[in-house]
């Protein structure tokens, strides 16, 4: 039986599919924002964006029980 996917997981899968930079999270005093960015190649991403992209990719692989 296939597991149901939820918001964060769906968003990160779509981001990878379309080659977008990783999600950015900004915390404020009473809320937080999730920021989506325009397409960039991996080479155009900053070092932090690359690390975030790899981290988010690992989360998706973990949730889907893939290596």
The answer to whether 22 touches 50, Cβ cutoff 8 Å, is no
Give the tokens for residue 7.
Answer: 């918001």
pLDDT at 51: 93
pLDDT at position 27 is 92
Which residues, 6 or more positions from 20, have their beta carbon under 8 angstroms from its beta carbon? 14, 36, 37, 38, 39, 40
- pTM given for the model: 0.70
Which ranges of the chain have pLDDT less than 50? none
């Amino acid at each position: 039986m296939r597991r149901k996917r939820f918001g964060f997981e769906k968003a990160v899968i779509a981001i990878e599919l379309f080659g977008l930079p990783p999600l950015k999270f900004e915390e404020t005093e009473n809320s937080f924002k999730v920021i989506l960015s325009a397409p960039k190649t991996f080479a155009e991403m900053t070092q932090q964006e690359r690390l975030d992209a790899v981290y988010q990719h690992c989360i998706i692989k973990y949730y889907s029980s893939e290596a």
